[in-house]
Structure formats: structure tokens, C-alpha cells
Structure 1
Amino acid sequence: MFKKILIANRGEIACRVIKSAQKMGIKTVAVYSDADARAMHTEMADEAVHIGPSVAAQSYLIADKIIAACKQTGAEAVHPGYGFLSEKASFMQALAKEGIAFIGPGEKAIKVMGDKIESKIFAAEAGVSTVPGSPDVIEDADHALKIAGEIGYPVMIKASAGGGGKGMRVAWDEAEAREGFARAKSEAANAFGDDRILIEKFIVNPRHIEIQILADKAGNTVYLHERECSIQRRNQKVVEEAPSSFLDAATRKAMGEQSVALAKACGYHSAGTVEFIVDVDRNFYFLEMNTRLQVEHPVTELITGVDLVEQMIRVAAGENLPFTQKDLKINGWAIESRIYAEDPFKEFLPSIGRLRRFNMPSEKSEGGITLRNDTGVTEGSDISMYYDPMISKLCTHAPTREAATDAMAEALDQSYIDGIQHNIPFLSSIMQHPRWRSGNISTNFIAEEFPDGFDYRIATADEKKTIAILASLLTYREKRRQLAISGQLDEHLEAPTDWHVVIDRETYPVDIATSPATLEWSPGDRLAKLIIGDTSNIYQVTPQPGGWKISFRDLMVQVFVCRPALSPLLAHMPEKVEADTSNMLICPMPGVLTSLLVKEGDIVQAGQSLAILEAMKMENVLHAVKKAIVTKIHAEQGAQLAVDTVIMEFEAC
């Protein structure tokens, strides 16, 4: 067994690999860029080596720097995690030349399966069901239109070397195919250094289901059942579960056996994933094989009890699998929610900044419920524009899907993040959604259920009354604290118990002396548990001038709390009017302005592409909201822009 390994990655996956290595008694080496100098994975590892600037192409993607770090520290093997160099055959070859083991598959599997074009041909030859599409690289936009026309719309345009939703576009007509080809090609070049593109038929209303496989160098290969990853946005997975609520035993067995056959055909060894799309009749079609570990691997570990990272290390060290297919059973249900640094209220645009607060529920296993949190950040960590926006993977495991969903909803309630925008309210909304609860989902779930984007819902009258009670109790507790600090709290001077809470300019009188509610909260906490009768809920509470911002799942309310004598005066307070920025294109997030698609004097139409902003490894196309004339362009192509920077101005025409 190895005595020391290096993790050629960062963030939560680096931390995840370190945990398994530590459990096995193996020393670990972390590598880090300038942006990650204080990152969590550098502190967890036994050693840490600086490898260059923040830009991944100058640090994490430089094989020579990883090898130099191995030589410097005496690391015998490298675990690549996922992304970066994890599916680069050239990296594995470079390691082999230096006598350093690669904790992953062999060269053939990486070359064949790391390329979507070659892997599809190989899979078809191996007898695996495949999606109709072009087997050849698409040369240019005109070629893309020709192939798409032959296959029939809609089509999926995607990078040959892609993954993680990068370099992927769905096109429903020629215009979308032309723009989608350009965007996918550019994203692929930036993310993977490989701009080859393929096109295949897009299956309408599919399920995205993948089979986890594990194989050793002796040829022993098993499948660890399936994960469903149908809750996606922009081809990026958001919520995953294991097993799937859709598969029956026969389909599961057929998919598993085809996956094993494919792995054996390419001489695969390690922990990989074969991805399929499944139609409404349970016909399944090969998408790709990821030869690396997947982001969503924890849900498989939770239902099988197998530590996939440990097995990867053992296989790389020459050990055989300690179990066979008949030993692998499905135990309960697991769900993973990906917590992203993004703003769900602004089309999920990435968010960067410092985590001023990062309070997540503690990992535990009790009462049949397991809570797991794979993360690479702590309170005070910086979320950088240079890397993927995922900051945490919150997982629950329970005997049933319903119990796992309830546990996830509760875990999300107990999570508080401040300093950046995040998608926890959106994840909470999914957990409460009747369609999710029923299991009737597809990759179109988000597009169909949130066609106009996501926003907080309007509180009901009963919810406002409950929030008014909560706000009054919070204020009463805070006033008592203030009086105690000043030495005025005694039998002669007590905090008042009667309050008026103003929500949406409606006043709710509350006398907490007669209220049946109980509050579990201390001043300074950002989570408050309110108990009324048999109902208890956990709210996120943030103090505001004169009141509180109170959030609960997909609900957020701003409240003002005052004494009864003051509340009539609030009706005379003017409402804040938002500035009209409809005549401007505003930068929605920090990023690099990679392209300006119009010039001053141009007349643009509603929906027309105006500029392309690159942030967190994704290209974001900014569009015109109405017909107008471009009167002034303020930003230059290639400029690094801050959020709310004015890119260009318009006049109506």
C-alpha cells in the first residue's frame, strides 16, 4: 500500500480524498494556487505545495508542476479527483515515466472513454445501446446545421472532451444550433483545451441515470447500482439520488450488465460511471463513460456502504475487490443537494465573495438518518471566480425516499450562508415540490416547473402571523439582552412584551406574554427554532435596522418591529423606488468580458446577443431585453468587470 499520495485537485473533492487516505493511514499532499493559499484542503493535508497562479491553466492543469510536487514530497501516487487532469491520458503517461502511480484507470480506458466521439463508437461496437447522432467531429457551424437537419431537432451540441455541463447546448432550430455550436466550442476550448464538438439527438423528457462501476486490475468488475441525476439546470446537475424511483429490477440489471461489459471491453480498472438517458418507456441510451470519480458519488456510498475512494486507492496499489456482484445490495435511499455560490433570483448567475457566515448542520447518524456534508470551505473562506461555484454537497440517507427528502429539507433549514448569494432557497423549494415528492421527474423538471425563473413566493396570511410572533420574540429577547448588559434589567424595568410587527405595510399586533409560542434562540444566532403547538420550524434570521430579515425555505420576509405607539407613523414612510436601468446593460457578476457582439450605433432586437461574460468556467451570453439603439459602449473586450459595471447604454427606437 502507498505511504503517501498527492491529490491533484482542490476544494471539496480534495478534502474528500484526504479523509479516506487518513482513514487508511496514508499521508497526504495537497497542491494549491495563489487563490487557494488558505483553502481548507491545504490545512487538512499533511503537506501542501504551491503550484502557481490562480488561473487553473497556469497551476492545476500543469502536469509538470504536479509531478514536481510529487518529487519534492516523495508522494508515490496521485489521485486526480474530478475535472482538471483526471481524464488526461497524457498526465497518466507523464506520471508513469516518473514511476508515480495514477489512482485511476489505464491509458486505453482514458483515451477511449475520455472522448465522447470515440466512446460512442466503442460503446456501439460493445453492444451498448447508443443515442442517434453524428460519429464525426463537427467542422464548423454550417456542418452543425447540416447534421442537425439530418438528425432532426431538437439536438444536443456538446464538447467531445466535456463534462460537468460545460460545452453543452440544446438547439431547437437552426438559429439556436448556430449560436450553440459557437458557445459550446468556445467553452470547450477554455475548459478542456479541446474544442471538438459532436451532435446527437436530444431525447425529450428523459431521465438522466448513471451506473457506478468498480473494477480491479485482475478484471473483477461490478456495478454499484444507479444514481438518478435528472434535476439539472443548463446540463449541470443540481440534485441527485440513489437509487432511481423510476427503474425496475430488470432495467437496472440490464443497464448494470451493459456498463460492466463496456468497462471490461476497454480494460477499465478503478471507480467510474457509465451515464445513460432513459425515455418514458425505460429504453436507455449510452451518453458517455466518465473514467474518473463523479461529484455525486456520495449517494452511492451511502446506499452500498462502499468507500469508493478507498477502493480506488486499493485498486491502484494492486489489490483486488473484496466483494462480488451478489454482495452489493441497495440499502435505503440517499439524496445529494449541490449547494452552489450562485444567485437563483438572477438566473443563477455565479456569486463570489467571502463566506462571512457558513453554518451547516453537523454530520451525524442517528434514528436511521445519516447526514453527510462534503465541503472544501469554512467560515471565512473566499469563493473565487476562477473555479467551479459548488461549495458543498449536502447528503441525507434514510430507509425510504420520503424520509430522505424530509431529512434533506430539515438539513437545508439548518443551513445558513452569508457573504455570497446561494441556491439553498431553491433547493428547499425542490424538496417541497409535489412533483419531486412523487418521483415524476425528468431533465426538464426545472425548465417546466420554474419557466420564469425562481423567486421567493408570497407569504400567506397565516405565515405572516407566525412570522410576526417570531419577530416579536426575537426583538423581546434582544431587548432583554440590551437591558442586562446595561444593568437595567430588574423587576422595575422589564423588556416590553407588546409589539407591532409590520409586514408588507400590514400591522400585526403581538403580545408575547399571552403567545403560545416557544423560541429556541440566543442573540447573535442566525438560526431560530419556533415551536407552536406540535409544529416546529427553523428559520434563518438576520438583524436589520428596525427589524429582521426572516427566511424559511422558499420564503423571505422583511419585517419592522416597533412599539404600538410608533406603528401608525410607518404608513407615512416613503417606499424605496428602484432605479431604472432598462436603458443599460449591467454586468450581472464579476467576470471577463470575452466578446462584444455589437458596436455603437447598432440597432438591436429583443433577445439579441450583446456580449459574452466568462465566470466560474462558464460562458454567459447577455441579451437585449427590448429593441433599441446602442448609444455608448463603456467596457472593452477582455476587460475584467465587477458586478453592476455598466457595459453599454441604449436609447429607444
Structure 2
Amino acid sequence: MFKKILIANRGEIACRVIKTARRMGIATVAVYSDADRDALHVEMADEAVHIGPAAAAESYLVAEKIIAVCKETGAEAVHPGYGFLSERASFCEALEREGIVFIGPKPKAIRAMGDKIESKKFANAAKVSTVPGYLGVIKDAAHAEKIAGEIGYPVMIKASAGGGGKGMRIAWNEAEVRDGFDRARSEARSSFGDDRVFIEKYIVDPRHIEIQVLADAHGNTVYLGERECSIQRRNQKVVEEAPSPFLDEKTRQAMGKQSVALAKAVDYQSAGTVEFIVDRDRNFYFLEMNTRLQVEHPVTELVTGIDLVEQMIRVAAGKTLPFNQKDIRLNGWAIESRLYAEDPYRNFLPSIGRLTRYRPPAEGWHGSTIVRNDTGVFEGAEISMYYDPMIAKLCAWAPDRSAAIEAMGQALDGFVVDGIAHNLPFLSALMKHPRWREGRLSTGFIAEEYPDGFAPMAPDQREEALLAAVALSTALIEANRRERHIDRLRASDGNLREEWVVKIDTAYVPVRLADGLVTIPFDMEMEAAGEKIHVVTDWRPGAPVWNGAIGGRAVTAQIRPVLNGMRIDWQGLAIRATVFTPRHAELDCLMPVKLPPDTSKLLLCPMPGLVISIAVAEGQEVKAGETLAVVEAMKMENVLRAERDLVVGKINAKPGESLAVDAVILEFA
């Protein structure tokens, strides 16, 4: 077995590999760029070596620098994680020439399966079911239009060397093919250094299901069940689960056997994933094979009990798999939610900044469920614009799917992140969405259920009562602790006030107390909005997470103080709550409402990023839907379009300029 390995990656996956290596008694070497000097993976590793500037093309993607660090530190093998150099056959070959082991498949398999165009040709030859499409390289936009017309709309334009949703566009007509072809090529060139794209038929209402395979160098290959990755946004996975709620055992076995056959055909060695698109009739079509560890591998580990990173290391060291296919059993249900540094209320645009507070839920067993959090950040860390916006993967395991959803919802509600915009509210809202809970999924789920984007949700009457109970219990506990405010709790007879009004955003919820004592832990009967509820909590002033039970239901919410009140985050809701006496509530109704400033004549930069292009000129008349500018952030190009017909007045930004969020790009006449 290896004595020392190098992790040629960063963030949560580097930390993940270090944990397993440490458990196996293997020393680790981390590499880092200027932007990652203080990163968590640098702190966790036994050794860490600087390899260059923040841009990945000058640091993490430079194979020569990785090899030099191996020689310098005596690392015997390299684990590439995912992304970066993980699927470059040339990197694998360069390591072999230097006598360094690549913890992953051999170059032959990487070349056969790593290129999406070549992998489809190979799959066709191996009689694997594939999606209809054009597997040659597309010359230009006109060529793309011709091919799309022959295949039939809608079509998918995809980068040959792509992954992670980069270099991928869906087109429903010729105009979208032209625009999508240019955007896909540009993103592919920027992310992978390879601008080749291909086109295939887009399957309507598809489900994205993938099979995890594991193979050694002695001819043993197994599949470890499936993962469903159908909750996607911009072709990027958001929520994954294992097993799939859609597959039956017959389909599972057919997909598994086909995946094993494909892996054997290329002499695959290591962990890999065969991805399929599955239609509503459970017909499945080969999509691609990822010759690396997948981002969503934790859910497979949770339902099989197999550490995939450990097996990758063992296989690379020449060991035999310690199990065969009949030993593989799927136990329970696991869900993974990806925490991204992006603003769900601004069309999920990237967010950067410092994590002023970062408090994940406790990992480990919680009754009959398990919580796991794979992360590469810590409180005080900086989220930069140079890398992927994913900062953590929160996982929950339970004996069945409904229990896993409940466990995930509780964990998300207790995940405290401040300092940047993030998608936790959206993930929490997903967990209670009826269609998600029923398992009626497709890769178009988010676009179909949130066609206008994710907007702040308003609580219903039942939720208002629950939130009012949380707010009042919090206010009573705080006031009871601060003796100088104790008079605010009391009525004219000196007893605790019974009548209260809690303002939930703009709604006034009357609350009546049925008990006259504030105890710690808090335990009190209330009547909120006409509903009698029993409230129990051990919350303490200053704690960001409120845990307790309301009406016998376990509730986890987040509490943040704001001027004259508090903000409560719970199950995707983010409300402002203020506790009033009835008289103060009457007076509050008379207060004027402050309106936000009018920005309708401005094009604001929706996130910190780099201006790629300005598509208009001063004085130009623009129609609704036309492109105004393109801004790049976190390896994704974001096209800013006109929301209505307008005339461009003044241009305040130019290509190549770095802008802060809300910087004015254009002014309209």
C-alpha cells in the first residue's frame, strides 16, 4: 500500500480524499493556488505545496507542477478528485513515465470514455443503447443548424470534453441553436481548453440516472446500484438520491449489466460512472461515462457501506476487490443536496465573499438517521470567483425515502451560512415540494415548477401560526433573560401578558398565552391564529438555530436579529417577525411603507464577474429578449437580456472589466 499520496484538487473533494487516506494510515500532500493559501484542504493535509496563481489554468491544471510536487515530497500516487486533471489521459501517461501511480483508470479507458463524441461511437460499437444524434465535430453555427434540423427539435448542444453543466445548451429552434452553439463553444474553451461540441436529440421529460461501477486490475467488475440526478438547474445537478424512486429491479439489473459490460470492454480499473437518460417508459439511453469519482458518490457510499475512495486507492495499489456482485446490497435511502454560493432570488447567479458564519448541522447518527457533510470551507473562509460555486454537499440517510427527506429538511433548516448568498432556502423549499416528495421527477423539474425563477415564498395560515409561535417564544426567552426588559412582558396587574400580536412580514397574527410562566427549557401552551399549539424548545439567546417541537412536530429554524425584530428562516421561507402588544400592533398598522428604489432604467451586474462582451451601442433600440451583455463568473457565462423594448442611453462598462454586484452596466433612455 502507498505510504504517501498527493491530491491534485481543492475544496471539498480534496478534504474528502484526505479523510479516507488518513483512516488508511496514508500521508497526504495538498497543492494550492494563491486563492487557496488558507483553504481547509491545505490545513488538513500532512504537507501542502504552493503551485501558482489563482487561475486554474496556471495552477491546478498544470500537470508539470503536480509532478514536480510529487518528486519534491516523495508522493507515490496522485488522486485527481473530479474536474481539473481527473479525466486527462495525457496527465495519467505523464505520471506513469515518472513512476507515479494515477489513482484512477488507465489512459485507454480515459480516452475511450472521457471524450463524449468518441465514447458514443464506442458505445454504439458495443451495442449499448444511445441517444440519436450527430457524433462528428460541428464546424460552425450554420453546420449546427443543419444537423439540428435533420435530428429534429429539441436538441442538446454539448461540449465534447464537458462536464458539470459547462458547455451545454438546449435549443428548441434555429435561433437558439446559433446562440447556444456560440455559448457552448466559448464555455467549453474556457473550462476545458477544448471547444469541440456535438449535437444529440433532447429527450423530453427525461430522468437522469447513473450506475456506479467499480473494477480492479484482475478482471473483477461490479455495479453498486444507481443514483438519480434528475433535479438539475442549467444542466447542473442540485439534488441526488440513491436508489432511484423510479427504477424497478428489472431495469436496475439491465442498466447495471450493461454498465459492467461497457466497463469491461475498455478494461476499466477504478471507480467510474455510466450515465443514462431514462424516458417515462423506462427505456434507457447511454449518455456518457465519467472516468472518475463523481460529485454525488456519497449517496452510494451511504446505501452500500462501501468507501469508494478507499477502493480506488486499493485498486491503484494492485489489490483485488474484497467483494463480488452478489455481496452488493442497497440498504435504506440517501439524499445529497449541493450547497452553492449563488443567489436563488436572483436567478441563481454566483455569489462571492467571506463566510462570516458557517455552522453545518452535526454529522453522525441522529436517532435512526445519519447526517453527513462533505465540505471544503470553514467559518471565515473566502469564496472566490475563480472556482466552482459548490461549497458543500449535505447528505442524509434513513431507512426509507420519506424519512430521508424529513432528515434532509431538518438538516438544511439547521445549516447556518452568512456572508454570501446561497441556495439553502431553495433546497429547503424543494424538500417540501409535493412533486419531489412523490418522486415525480425529470431533468426539467426546476424549469417546470419554477418557470419564473425562485422567489421568496409567503407562508400560509398554518405556517404563519407556527412562525408566530417561534417568534413569540424567542422574544419571551430573550426578555425574561434581560431583566431590564421584564416590564414589557407584564400586564397592568403584574402578571405575564396573555395577549400578543406577531407580525409575520405584513400579516398580523394574534397569539394568546395559556400559561403564565416563562421557563427554561421553554414549555408553554399558546393559541396562534385560532389554533391551539404546545411549544417546547431549549433555545438560548444568541443561538442561531431554534430547535424544538410545536404541536408535537419537530421544528428546526434559524433566528437572526434585525432592527426591532428578527428574521426566521424555515423550510425555504425567510420572513421578518416582530412581536407587539395589541396596542403597538394597532399603531404599527399606521406606519408608512418604504418602497425600494426604481432600477427599471438600469442594467445592473447581477453578480461579481468579468464582462465578456457588450452587445449594444449607445442610442440603439433593443427588443425584449435581445442580448445586452455577457458576464462570466465561476466558469459560467451569463447572458443578460432585455426584459422589454428599450433604447440604450449610456454604456458604463467595457469588455474585460471586473464588476461588483449591482454595478451599473447600462443606462436606458
8 Å contact kept, 2:349–2:606 = yes
**In structure 1, distance between residues paired with 2:341 and 2:54:** 18
**In structure 2, distance between residues paired with 1:484 and 1:51:** 57
Which residue in the other structure is 1:339 paired with?
339
Which residue in the other structure is 1:419 paired with?
419
Which residue in the other structure is 2:324 paired with?
324
**In structure 1, distance between residues paired with 2:494 and 2:36:** 52
**In structure 1, distance between residues paired with 2:221 and 2:554:** 48
**In structure 2, distance between residues paired with 1:248 and 1:533:** 38
**In structure 2, distance between residues paired with 1:489 and 1:307:** 55
Single out whichever of 253-262 and 309-318 deviates more from structure 2. 253-262
Letter in 2 for 1:603: E
Which residue in the other structure is 1:27 paired with?
27
- Partner deviation per Cα, 1:142-192 (whole Å, 9 max, x = no partner): 000000000000000000000000000000000000000000000000000
Letter in 2 for 1:529: N
Which residue in the other structure is 2:656 paired with?
638
Deviation at 1:565, TM superposition (A): 4.6
**In structure 2, distance between residues paired with 1:87 and 1:556:** 41
Which residue in the other structure is 1:56 paired with?
56
Which residue in the other structure is 1:141 paired with?
141
- Partner deviation per Cα, 1:110-144 (whole Å, 9 max, x = no partner): 11211111110001111111111112000100000
**In structure 2, distance between residues paired with 1:253 and 1:460:** 44
In the alignment, structure 1 segments of 5+ residues that lack a partner are none
Which residue in the other structure is 2:646 paired with?
628
Which residue in the other structure is 2:530 paired with?
none
The size of the alignment, in residue pairs, is 650
**In structure 2, distance between residues paired with 1:576 and 1:90:** 60
Which residue in the other structure is 1:96 paired with?
96
Which residue in the other structure is 1:454 paired with?
454
Letter in 2 for 1:300: T
Deviation at 1:344, TM superposition (A): 0.9
Deviation at 1:268, TM superposition (A): 1.1
The match for 1:618 among 618, 636, 641 is 636
SS in 1 for 2:407: helix
- Partner deviation per Cα, 1:314-339 (whole Å, 9 max, x = no partner): 11111111111111111111111111
Deviation at 1:597, TM superposition (A): 1.2
Which residue in the other structure is 1:502 paired with?
503
- Partner deviation per Cα, 1:474-503 (whole Å, 9 max, x = no partner): 2222223333799x999x999977644333
Deviation at 1:218, TM superposition (A): 1.6
- Partner deviation per Cα, 1:167-226 (whole Å, 9 max, x = no partner): 000000000000000000000000000000000000111111111111111221111111
Deviation at 1:99, TM superposition (A): 1.2
Which residue in the other structure is 2:594 paired with?
576
Which residue in the other structure is 2:521 paired with?
none
Deviation at 1:546, TM superposition (A): 0.4
Which residue in the other structure is 2:116 paired with?
116
**In structure 2, distance between residues paired with 1:215 and 1:125:** 21
Single out whichever of 123-132 and 462-471 deviates more from structure 2. 462-471
Runs of at least 4 residues of structure 1 off by over 6 A?
A: 492-497
- Partner deviation per Cα, 1:257-304 (whole Å, 9 max, x = no partner): 111111111121110001010111111111110001000001111111
Letter in 2 for 1:103: I
Deviation at 1:4, TM superposition (A): 0.3
CA distance change for structure 1 residues 498 and 353 in 2, over 3 Å: closer, same or farther? farther
Which residue in the other structure is 1:9 paired with?
9
Q: In the alignment, is residue 188 of structure 1 matched against residue 185 of structure 2?
A: no
Q: TM-score, normalised by structure 1?
A: 0.96
Deviation at 1:63, TM superposition (A): 0.9
Taking only the aligned residue pairs, the percentage that are identical comes to: 63
Q: In the alignment, is residue 553 of structure 1 matched against residue 571 of structure 2?
A: yes
RMSD, matched Cα: 2.1
Q: TM-score, normalised by structure 2?
A: 0.94
8 Å contact kept, 2:489–2:497 = no
Which residue in the other structure is 1:542 paired with?
560
8 Å contact kept, 2:479–2:485 = no
Which residue in the other structure is 2:444 paired with?
444
8 Å contact kept, 1:483–1:489 = no
8 Å contact kept, 1:505–1:571 = no
1:344-423 alignment, distance < 5 Å: 344-423=344-423
- Partner deviation per Cα, 1:590-644 (whole Å, 9 max, x = no partner): 0000111111121111011111111011111100011111111000101011000
8 Å contact kept, 2:476–2:489 = no
Which residue in the other structure is 2:528 paired with?
none
8 Å contact kept, 1:30–1:49 = yes
**In structure 2, distance between residues paired with 1:130 and 1:549:** 50
Which residue in the other structure is 2:620 paired with?
602
**In structure 1, distance between residues paired with 2:278 and 2:497:** 61
Which residue in the other structure is 1:532 paired with?
550
**In structure 2, distance between residues paired with 1:99 and 1:380:** 39
